[in-house]
Structures are given as C-alpha cells and as structure tokens.
Amino acid sequence: MAFVHGKEGYLEIDVSGSPTDISAYVTSVDGFPGDVASHEVTTFGKDTVARSAGLKDTKVTVNGIYDATVDGYLAAILGTASTLSYGPSGNAGQKYTGEFLLSSYKVSDPVGGMSTWTANFEIASGDLSDLTW
C-alpha cells in the first residue's frame, strides 16, 4: 500500500476555458469524493432500520494563502460552473474531476497572520469522475 503525503496534492480549475494549476496557492482540500443521501425505507414489522441510497453530492472546501493571481482566478469564476480536478497524489496520479459551481469565495486578513482565502465548490452537473488515470 502506498501512502500519500498532503504536500503532493494538485488542484486545477478551469478559468475562462483554460485549465489552470493553482496548487502553489492551496493549503488544503476537503470534500472529495463526496456523500450519498440516505433515505429510511423501514416498513411495518421490521426490527431494524432499512435504508436506500439517494442522490450523490459533492461539496468541496479549498483553503489557501492569498495572492493577487489566484484572487483574480477565483473572483472571475465566482457564481459560475467550472471544471475542478483534484489529485491527492499529484497531477500524474489518480484524480477526481467534475463540473463545480464556486458558491462562495472569501478572503481573511488577520492582523497577526497571513492573508488567506476559502473557496466552497458544489457539484454543478453530471457525475463526479473519480479515479481518472
């Protein structure tokens, strides 16, 4: 089994039709591959809860160190759908890819620390194409 260190992560977003590597600005990615809704379908006479799978959903939070370059990229796609591609073990390894809506983008500027940003993405359409080689 090959373990992966977080420093190997790779994140690419589509900015104006051009895939753009923003890995140099990212400190964490959280949310892949996502969740599946669970619906209770227990009927009379059962002693144990029964459930059925529902819709898949992926919500991704990305954090990073502020830079005017990445600020321009994220501000440009705020409120629109864009292709997001994340490789936990780098660009050459397996990746999760999908069309995501950038639903929020916020900059934090603490007086005693580095300026940072947080971006929240939600799957926009289609299925998440996971483990693409």
CATH number of residue 61's parent domain:
2.30.110
Convert 57-66 to b/e letters by CB count within 10 Å (16 or more is b): ebebebebee
- pLDDT confidence of residue 1: 63
Residues written for the chain: 133
Closest CA to 116 of 106, 129, 103, 126: 106
pLDDT in tens, 65-92: 999 999 999 999 999 999 999 999 999 8
- pLDDT confidence of residue 2: 78
CA angle 120, 121, 122 (to 5 degrees): 130
Q: How many domains does the chain have?
A: 1
* Residue 79 within a domain: yes
* Residue 114 within a domain: yes
Q: Which tops the pLDDT comparison, 116 or 16?
A: 116
The yes-or-no verdict on residue 131 having pLDDT over 70 is: no
* Residue 63 within a domain: yes
* Residue 1 within a domain: no
For the segment 23-33, the average pLDDT, to the nearest whole number, is: 95
For the segment 32-39, the average pLDDT, to the nearest whole number, is: 91
Convert 90-100 to b/e letters by CB count within 10 Å (16 or more is b): eeebebbbbbb
* Residue 111 within a domain: yes
- Mean pLDDT, the chain, rounded, equals 92
Q: Which tops the pLDDT comparison, 132 or 76?
A: 76
Q: Which string of DSSP letters, residue by residue, matches 14-28?
A: EETTEEEE-GGGEEE
Residues 6+ apart with CB under 8 A from 22: 11, 12, 13, 64, 70, 73
Domain that holds residue 53: 6-132
* Residue 68 within a domain: yes
